[in-house]
Structure 1
Amino acid sequence: MTGESKMAFERISTGIETLDEILHGGLTRDRLYLVEGTPGTGKTTFGLQFLLAGRDRGEKGIYVTLSETKEELIGIAQSHGWSLDGIYIHELLNPEDAAGRAQYTMFEPSEVELGSTVGEVQKQVEAMKPQRIVFDSLSEMRLLSQGALRYRRQILALKQFFVGRGCTTLLLDDKATGGEDQQLQSLAHGVIRLEQRLTDYGNERRNLRVIKHRGSDFIGGAHDVQLMRGGMQVFPRATVDTSPWFADGRVISSGLDSLDQLLGGGITEGSSTLLLGPAGVGKSSMGVQFAVEAAKRGERAVLFEFEESDNALLTRSEGLGLPLRKYIDDGSIAVRHLPAGEIAPNEFAMKVRSEVAEDAQGRKTTVVLIDSLNGYLSSMPHENFLVVQLHDILNYLGKRGIATFLVVAQHGMMGHGMGTPVDTSYLADAVILFRYFEAAGEIHRAISVVKNRTANHERTIREFGLSDQGLEIGQPLTNFRGVLAGTPEFIGPRDVLLDPREASPE
């Protein structure tokens, strides 16, 4: 490959690492790109990040602005904690010139001669020889052109001028005319669209879509975007995951012999387990049990909490004799609380992927708890296909040998009215079912394994207890009535039951 052809396929960073992944390496150098979106979607922030990434690599950059002043751009940069030192800001509409032309009236862009305006940009490019240029915004260019034909010719001329001088150019368009400018899209080498929509609850949702990127593949679809201090963050809809399957079939113990026996030996690494039952029956406590046991082995666990606060989680765990606080303090267990209505689905998937990486002490994450799927679904009520995305998350964790536990609270306490918010049992390799049952006028808990693809599990129903001594699994209970009807009642001898009065609440 010649040096010239190699340059044609060379990639440069957008300044956003995850967007580079979406573009399979970044933008093609020495090309012109269109970044379009309505006001407030983050175009200016994106443009600044693009130039800052170039500056950090020793490349010269120019921000050509027709819509914002230099002071406004510096203010935007400062709000993100950035310095624009080393980036040249070229104002096409100089405030002093505008005052001279229009006295005390608002300056009209249409009064400016287009040729001289563009000529200023070309002179600056010739003098500085930058590698990156951001042109903000094209809506002003449309007004200056005063006609569709002249506007298209001018954009084409700019494209040829910039590309011929080794410039990678971003044209920002605020879509002031409404609809899509397909002629402009056809001229650009690539098109990136920024969108936002308002939901019934929580913050507005922002998305990024790559419409086209000539000569290159990319990850299509809508990718979640967050604008925060530090710039734009993009959360890919999917990642290119070519890693092999790491799990080798090792069985993970729960730390309770009777529970391991019920499961057919334990939980296989890389598998997913559904903890299913009514509220308060002990599902979350079971998940914490596996997390604490992983920490005892010198491994790491991550708990994603959609509902329970730190205080409630720690108080409940201490009441069960589970030293959760100890392992949180030494970093063996990480607890991540996710605010309802504020997190986007791709953002959550990205958090999961980043959290399960090996920590500084070299501890490998082997257990992940998502508590609960009800909270997961409720925190993103306007999103579709969350279960499909959950399947991708489980596949990602499974390939890395991580055992995942999913808590699902069924509606109702018992009887025919019990139901689940969504059927996810087909996603899980194992399903542990929790139930309340009646015996001698008292409420007891029952546990059974109804599915385990990786082991020959017990088919028995055992009593399940929670006390200050931890989780207790009783002997198989053989005298039940009404289990399939959803109202189990124990009719056997009382002396085989655990004392529910010794149990502490979940």
Structure 2
Amino acid sequence: MTLGREDQPGAQGSSIQDGERDSPSAAIPRLETGIPRLDYILKGGFLRNGTYAVMGPPGSGKTILGNQLCFERVRRSSSARCVYVTLLVESHAKMIRHLSGMKWFDTGMIPDRIYYISGYTALRDQGLSGLIDLLRRTLRERRGTEVLVIDGLESVEQRAPDVLAFREFVHEIQGLSALSDCTTFLLSSTGERSHSENTLVDGVIELTDQLIGLRAVRELTVHKFRGGDYLRGKHEVEIQSSGMVIHPRTEIQFDTPQASATEDRKRMSFGIASFDAMIEGGLLSGSATALLGAPGIGKTLLGLSFLVEGAKQGEEGIYFGFYEPPPRLCEKARKVGIDLDTYIQEGTIRLLWQPPLEHMLDSLAEQLLELLRHRPKPRRRLFIDGIEGFRAASVYLDRLPRFLSAFTNQLRMLDVTTLVSEELDLFTPLIKMPSPELGNVVENVVLLRYVELRSQIHRLISIMKMRESHYDRSIREFFIGEQGIEVADSFRSAEQILSGQARLLAGLQDREGES
């Protein structure tokens, strides 16, 4: 039986092309799976004629992985044939019914290109030797089989009289693979890495499905891969209508970044004259900047101003947000005179909105990086509205510093000038970044704060950090009006503003009545 179709699954792209990295085993023929990003994790795919164990609990995706691999193989090669052997009680009809919703499923490939056979009866009636005879016969009859999948290896272990007999069975399978010139996958629900067949096979892949807090998380780990290098550690897994999609950890994908980005750097202005003067005409291209501020202070409007100013100069901009849907965002910009609609319509600015659901951290990074790679252009601008969205998507919070470092480095390599906003408390005498790791990976930090003064609330802006550039260290008041954001030439009405305690200075005029 076969699964497959001629068109690519929708999530087929990967943040780095499969086989892009050099591998010491590059000369060994590879079997590419076509499963999004699995070949990248294996640095080119499985080694041909090898025997691989795929283990994991029920529901982790073993059967989908095995079938998707078969369908993708026959789709990629007109001569490829696959044999899928089940040792489970579940009938083929029920399995295919469950798989029929996958985009790659194609009944036209069954049984000529993908052949399904049950080995349960042979195993039950004749034991391990009977199953080996059945496999040998099937591979002989279906010459040219490229992939053999045995689903339900735990049934063999349960029928084996002892551990030695089971190990001999696995050894026989390896011999059959070599003689038949096919690559074999042994699917098992056993969750123990020390399982006896794992010492014999050429590679071990573990799929997990676990609850972490309230979230259900699927992950893939390569524990062993003889003859080749691979990306170690856990990688996120999603099962969608397009099948299994794997998201390699961002920090291990880009563990060896280029030494530097483009040397031809320029200033990227905000189009706000007084603020641009504070930062020597703009941010250096290819840099990352954190916008820190309380809710409603104007972080989003400042970020949109940055994108629109770039669009006026012909520079492409991307808004990546989590909390404000595009219609609300456009309406918000329209009310303060920021012409976002025009540049969205002409395609200079793109809005990517992620509704506040359960996202996967590496999937979010891939979405942005793949978009940027797909449309390579110099001097692009990116505004990530809410680093909290990435934090909420992280299952393991201790990953965030390494993730942000790798992610921002890639944006620099792509000549993207990035703004990232982060929420602070409304009124606080202390300035503390909720994500200290963000301050370590950005070149610039801009602080926006409220201050209470004579029953009035004022907005203040200051530059807290700016690498590789001079900047104005003074604190300025800023206003949001019908013409967008206006930054004052100076703010002389408050003292000790960073402590949140403001008072009038004798002889100085305050800006009462202005908000």
TM-score past 0.5 threshold: yes
Structure 2 distance, partners of 1:119, 1:494, is 97
Query: What is the DSSP-based 3-state SS (H/G/I as helix, E as strand, rest coil) of the residue aligned with 2:40?
Result: helix
Please list the CA deviations of residues 384-439 of structure 1 after superposition, one character each: whole Å capped at 9, or x if unmatched. 321221111001101111111111111232434x5432212222101111112244
What aligned pairs does 1:341-490 form with structure 2 within 5 A after superposition?
342-359=358-375, 364=378, 366-380=380-394, 383-416=397-430, 419-423=432-436, 424-489=438-503
Deviation at 1:24, TM superposition (A): 1.0
Structure 2 distance, partners of 1:134, 1:323, is 57
Q: Partner letter of residue 153 of structure 1?
A: E
Query: What is the DSSP-based 3-state SS (H/G/I as helix, E as strand, rest coil) of the residue aligned with 2:304?
Result: helix
The aligned residue for residue 217 of structure 2 is 205
Query: What is the DSSP-based 3-state SS (H/G/I as helix, E as strand, rest coil) of the residue aligned with 2:136?
Result: helix
Q: Partner letter of residue 312 of structure 1?
A: R
Q: Is the 8 A contact 2:54 2:207 kept in 1?
A: yes
Deviation at 1:341, TM superposition (A): 5.1
Q: In the alignment, which of 278, 281, 290 is matched to residue 262 of structure 1?
A: 278
Structure 2 distance, partners of 1:207, 1:110, is 33
- The count of residues paired between Structure 1 and Structure 2 equals 477
Please list the CA deviations of residues 246-305 of structure 1 after superposition, one character each: whole Å capped at 9, or x if unmatched. 432221121222221111220111111010121111111111111122222223222221
Deviation at 1:208, TM superposition (A): 0.6
Structure 2 distance, partners of 1:73, 1:493, is 83
Q: Is the 8 A contact 2:495 2:503 kept in 1?
A: yes
Structure 1 distance, partners of 2:151, 2:513, is 72
The aligned residue for residue 189 of structure 1 is 202
Q: Is the 8 A contact 1:47 1:134 kept in 2?
A: yes
Please list the CA deviations of residues 58-78 of structure 1 after superposition, one character each: whole Å capped at 9, or x if unmatched. 311111111132213322331
Structure 1 distance, partners of 2:383, 2:26, is 47
Q: Is the 8 A contact 1:306 1:376 kept in 2?
A: no
Deviation at 1:227, TM superposition (A): 0.5
The aligned residue for residue 68 of structure 2 is 49
The aligned residue for residue 341 of structure 2 is 325
Segment of structure 1 superposing worse, 488-497 or 181-190: 488-497
The aligned residue for residue 328 of structure 2 is 312
Query: What is the DSSP-based 3-state SS (H/G/I as helix, E as strand, rest coil) of the residue aligned with 1:487?
Result: coil
The aligned residue for residue 282 of structure 1 is 298
Deviation at 1:234, TM superposition (A): 0.5
Deviation at 1:346, TM superposition (A): 1.8
The aligned residue for residue 9 of structure 1 is 28
Segment of structure 1 superposing worse, 187-196 or 336-345: 336-345
What aligned pairs does 1:209-288 form with structure 2 within 5 A after superposition?
209-237=221-249, 238-240=252-254, 245-247=260-262, 248-288=264-304
Q: Partner letter of residue 221 of structure 2?
A: R
Structure 1 distance, partners of 2:506, 2:83, is 82
Q: Partner letter of residue 34 of structure 1?
A: A
Structure 2 distance, partners of 1:446, 1:8, is 61
Q: Is the 8 A contact 1:264 1:457 kept in 2?
A: yes
Identity %: 27
The aligned residue for residue 153 of structure 1 is 168
Q: Partner letter of residue 225 of structure 1?
A: V
The aligned residue for residue 51 of structure 2 is 32
Q: Is 2:94 the partner of 1:75?
A: no
The aligned residue for residue 162 of structure 1 is 177
Deviation at 1:364, TM superposition (A): 5.0
Q: Is the 8 A contact 2:163 2:196 kept in 1?
A: no
Structure 2 distance, partners of 1:7, 1:305, is 40
Q: Is the 8 A contact 1:298 1:363 kept in 2?
A: no
Deviation at 1:477, TM superposition (A): 1.8
Q: Is the 8 A contact 1:374 1:421 kept in 2?
A: no
Query: What is the DSSP-based 3-state SS (H/G/I as helix, E as strand, rest coil) of the residue aligned with 2:441?
Result: coil
Segment of structure 1 superposing worse, 134-143 or 221-230: 134-143
Query: What is the DSSP-based 3-state SS (H/G/I as helix, E as strand, rest coil) of the residue aligned with 1:312?
Result: helix
Structure 2 distance, partners of 1:133, 1:330, is 51
Structure 2 distance, partners of 1:371, 1:115, is 62
Structure 1 distance, partners of 2:508, 2:428, is 21
Q: Partner letter of residue 208 of structure 1?
A: L
Distance verdict in 2 for CA 1:473–1:79, change over 3 Å: same
Q: Partner letter of residue 388 of structure 2?
A: N
Segment of structure 1 superposing worse, 426-435 or 139-148: 139-148
Distance verdict in 2 for CA 1:9–1:449, change over 3 Å: same
Q: Partner letter of residue 80 of structure 1?
A: M
Distance verdict in 2 for CA 1:88–1:392, change over 3 Å: same
Q: Partner letter of residue 101 of structure 2?
A: S
Please list the CA deviations of residues 86-138 of structure 1 after superposition, one character each: whole Å capped at 9, or x if unmatched. 211112236xx9xxxxxxxxxxx644433222211111101112011111010
TM-score by length of 2: 0.86
Query: What is the DSSP-based 3-state SS (H/G/I as helix, E as strand, rest coil) of the residue aligned with 1:249?
Result: coil
Distance verdict in 2 for CA 1:294–1:260, change over 3 Å: same
Structure 2 distance, partners of 1:382, 1:10, is 36
Q: Is 2:87 the partner of 1:66?
A: yes
Segment of structure 1 superposing worse, 492-501 or 442-451: 492-501
Q: Partner letter of residue 197 of structure 1?
A: Q
Structure 1 distance, partners of 2:45, 2:258, is 21
Q: In the alignment, which of 91, 94, 103 is matched to residue 118 of structure 2?
A: 91
Query: What is the DSSP-based 3-state SS (H/G/I as helix, E as strand, rest coil) of the residue aligned with 1:404?
Result: strand
Structure 2 distance, partners of 1:479, 1:52, is 71
Please list the CA deviations of residues 211-244 of structure 1 after superposition, one character each: whole Å capped at 9, or x if unmatched. 1111211111111110110110000113256656
Q: Is the 8 A contact 1:111 1:144 kept in 2?
A: no
Which segments of 5 or more consecutive residues in structure 1 lack a partner in the other structure? 1-5, 98-108, 502-506
TM-score by length of 1: 0.88
Q: Partner letter of residue 457 of structure 2?
A: I
Q: Partner letter of residue 278 of structure 1?
A: A
Query: What is the DSSP-based 3-state SS (H/G/I as helix, E as strand, rest coil) of the residue aligned with 1:477?
Result: coil
Query: What is the DSSP-based 3-state SS (H/G/I as helix, E as strand, rest coil) of the residue aligned with 1:40?
Result: coil
Segment of structure 1 superposing worse, 430-439 or 335-344: 335-344
The aligned residue for residue 104 of structure 1 is none
Please list the CA deviations of residues 190-210 of structure 1 after superposition, one character each: whole Å capped at 9, or x if unmatched. 1111112113334x1111111
Q: Is the 8 A contact 1:13 1:27 kept in 2?
A: yes
Which segments of 5 or more consecutive residues in structure 2 lack a partner in the other structure? 1-24
Q: Is the 8 A contact 1:439 1:489 kept in 2?
A: yes
Q: Partner letter of residue 405 of structure 1?
A: L
Q: Is the 8 A contact 2:29 2:48 kept in 1?
A: yes
Q: Is the 8 A contact 2:378 2:415 kept in 1?
A: no
